[in-house]
Amino acid sequence: MAATLEEHQKDLEEVKKLLEKVTRKRVRDVLTAEKGKLESEIKNKMQQKEQGKRETADSEKPAAVVAPISVGYTVKINNYGWDQSDKFVKIYVTLTGVQQVPVEDVQVHFTERSFELLVKNLNGKNYSMTVSNLLKPISVEGSSRKVKTDTILVLCRKKVDHKWEYLTQVERSWLDLPCATGNGLPPGQSALGTWESSGTHVLREWRGRAFTQFSG
């Protein structure tokens, strides 16, 4: 490419010298046209040369070192507590350090009969919880979530201000079944009744802490 460019430049100099000597108009017109053609070709060759230099320089640059993105695995949340008021069903999720996560990374997706909680990148891990088949419909627009120290409160707005006996339809179906006598319980006694009687003081203590935290 350099030799070709050099030849064009020599030809252009020769044409310029001839133009200074020529006297006939027809010959001058031919030389003038040739001069313009050579100038255009020289310009194109020079642009190609510069472009080649830039591409070579770019290709010789060391590749940028990109730090690996740490993608943590997702931990399924299985433990939670719930309570209710006249207008809301409240689900309490304990997650140590959740207050350190950016608010936009604590997400809850609501539907009329379910919600899905997702906490992104808490100490290198994601956390998720899905509750489906809620006992009764909820208002998607009226539902929300709050984040406090080590705790997430999911607020499901009731569509109808009725008391919920259970959180989900599945829970109702299961807990309404009498336990078998082989489990050591009298016929007709439910597992729910046994659990409530043995764990009431723990549940009350936990709910009391949650109420104090989220009402502050």
CA separation, residue 69 to residues 66, 72, 83, 121, 182 (Å): 9, 9, 39, 12, 53
Assess whether pLDDT exceeds 50 at residue 5: yes
Whichever domain contains 7, its CATH number is 4.10.860.10
Considering only residues 39 and 101, tell me which one the structure prediction assigns the higher pLDDT.
101
Domain count, the chain: 2
Over residues 27-47, the mean pLDDT reads 81
Alpha carbon 95 to its chain centroid, in Å, reads 20
Of 128 and 213, the one with more pLDDT:
128
Cα dihedral sign for 207, 81, 100, 116? negative
Cα torsion 189, 195, 199, 204: sign: negative
Which of 158, 176, 211 is the C-terminal boundary of a domain? 158
Higher pLDDT pick, 21 / 183: 21
CA distance linking residue 87 with residue 14, whole number of Å = 95
User: Which pLDDT value is given to residue 195?
Assistant: 40
For residues 59-65, give the mean pLDDT. Answer: 58
**Tens of pLDDT along 124-145?**
899 999 999 999 999 999 999 9
pLDDT in tens, 189-204: 444 444 443 333 444 4
Q: Tell me if 181 is assigned to some domain.
A: no
Q: Which domain, by its residues, includes 42? A: 2-47
175 is a domain residue = no
Q: Can you give the CATH number for the domain in which 137 is found?
A: 2.60.40.790
Are 153 and 82 found together in one domain? yes
Q: Cα dist. 182→79, 94, 162, 188, 191 in Å?
A: 27, 35, 36, 12, 13
In a domain, 55, yes or no: no
